[in-house]
Amino acid sequence: MSGQDTSVRTALTHAGRSVLPESTQANPRLRQVIADRREIAAMTRDRVSSPITAFKFYALTTPGKLVVLMAAMVLACLLTGWYSSSNLNERSQTLESLIDRSEPLAESAEVLYSSLSVADAAANSAFISGGRETPELRRVYSDAIASSGTALVASADGGSSADAGTGIPIREDLDTMAVRIPSYTGVIEAARTNNRLGNPVGSAYLVQASTMMQDDILPAAQRLYDQRSAAISEPQRTLTVPPWGVYVALFGTIAILLASGRYLARRTRRHFNLGLVAALTALGLGTLWLLITGLTSVAAANTAKSSGAEPLHELTTMRIITQQARSVETLSLVRRTDPGLLDRDFNAAIDQIRTKTAALLAEHGDDAGMAEPLREVQDSIGRWERAHQEVGQRLAAGDFVAARALTIGTGDISTATGYDQVNSSLLTAIDQTRGTFRDNIHTAQQLLGYTGTGIAWLCVVAGVAAAGGLIPRIREYR
């Protein structure tokens, strides 16, 4: 026996050389031992020389498969948490920007346009009054100019991006108003001085100032408002759609964990893994959290859009048209010429207001906060139109004094009273819709404020729990 052992050792020591006796070489068992040793040695050399080969070899073993499975689950949980947090936090920041920046800028642009229109109408009314204007008209004009200056400064805070509708940089419009408004007020003062002195040239100065306002300043203000308004409506198109990508990521990760648990149960014959159950519970809580806050946030954003931003834009447009109608009305008396063209502009503006009011009532008639001022607009429009027709009849009869009294007077039958009532009702409706918009956007932002961070932490917990559930199973193969 010892001679045979010595031969085996010699054969193993000199592998590849025929040094064994013939009786030993003919032993099948010995040849198998030598072949196995050579194969193990070759595999060892390959694994040492190539880490990729070593990894492939280990990955094909049962513990290797479990390690790869654990890494995939942890990576899926972490990526889902990162994606969910990024997506939801971006939505929350967009909502916060809407109420902290975009909406105030749009309001400033609307105030700017309204203040300029009020100033123009007040200047025309003051001129119509003849000689020294009333303190009330002078105060209205001065307050409007002061408000326009404040609103211009606030609107300039939005930067100089280009208006998508016109392609004209907003900075150019801001520069136009910054230059033209002081020029306008200077021409108005020249008209006012000549009017008080009884010089006929005062009328020419006023027409020049009003033309500057209508042709240069107000179009720039309206472009600015359109751009600021678009900054509100554009983000809402995405905010009113649920975050489907986050839902897909969460449900996909849950599916991966369920499939992994089933595979682990078949391999280990253990149907209950505490780590995977904890991971599934964490992801389930995150999904339920997102379902509640996400869908509620989308509902609030939809309400902000349908009952806030959209009617707010329409109401603001109506107020702009109202002020244009008032400017046209007063300018026709300043010129003391055939008011035919100006009357057509006035009637077209009134028709637009009436049509938009009816459309808003048909859509939001069940909202008492909006419906009541809109019905007041309808009633006031009728009174304003009747007073305007009365002014036209007095002008046609050559009674300028009576026409002037009906235009700037404060009685029940007065175009000034009709305009004030329409403007006041529109302001009430605008305040109502602006409050609805801000309240719902704030609610949507509050709901999403902590959801992204919360789901990210739940995904981290799920990843740690999944790793904790598989590590003991892997150790069993040592």
What pLDDT shows up at residue 16? Answer: 46
Q: Which two tokens stand for residue 113?
A: 């346009």
Contact 415, 144 (CB under 8 A): no
In tens, the pLDDT along 333-369 reads: 776 655 565 578 888 889 999 999 999 988 887 887 8
Q: Which amino acid is at 185?
A: T
> What does the pLDDT profile of the chain (478 residues) look like in tens digits?
444 445 444 444 444 444 445 544 556 676 666 766 666 666 655 555 555 555 555 555 666 677 878 888 899 999 999 999 999 988 888 888 888 888 888 888 888 998 898 888 888 887 777 666 778 878 888 898 998 888 888 887 755 444 444 345 678 888 889 899 999 999 888 888 887 877 778 778 888 888 898 888 988 888 888 888 888 877 777 777 888 889 999 999 999 999 888 888 777 676 678 888 899 999 999 999 999 998 898 888 888 888 888 888 889 889 888 988 888 888 777 766 555 655 788 888 899 999 999 999 888 878 878 889 899 998 889 888 888 888 878 877 777 778 778 877 777 778 888 888 998 999 999 999 988 888 988 888 888 888 888 999 999 999 999 888 888 777 776 5
Structural domain boundaries of the chain?
A: 1-39, 78-92+104-475
What pLDDT shows up at residue 227? Answer: 85
Sort 363 into a burial class: Cβ within 10 Å, 0-12 / 13-18 / 19+: middle
Taking the C-alpha atoms of residue 128 and residue 395, their distance in angstroms, rounded to an integer, is 13
> To 10 degrees, what angle do helices 400-408 and 415-449 make?
20
How many residues are given for the chain?
478
Q: Could you tell me how far CA 152 lies from the centroid of its own chain?
A: 23
Chain position carrying tokens 């900075």: 171
* CA–CA–CA angle 55, 265, 267 (5° rounding): 45
What pLDDT shows up at residue 97? Answer: 85
Q: Which two tokens stand for residue 329?
A: 């009305």
What pLDDT shows up at residue 59? Answer: 53
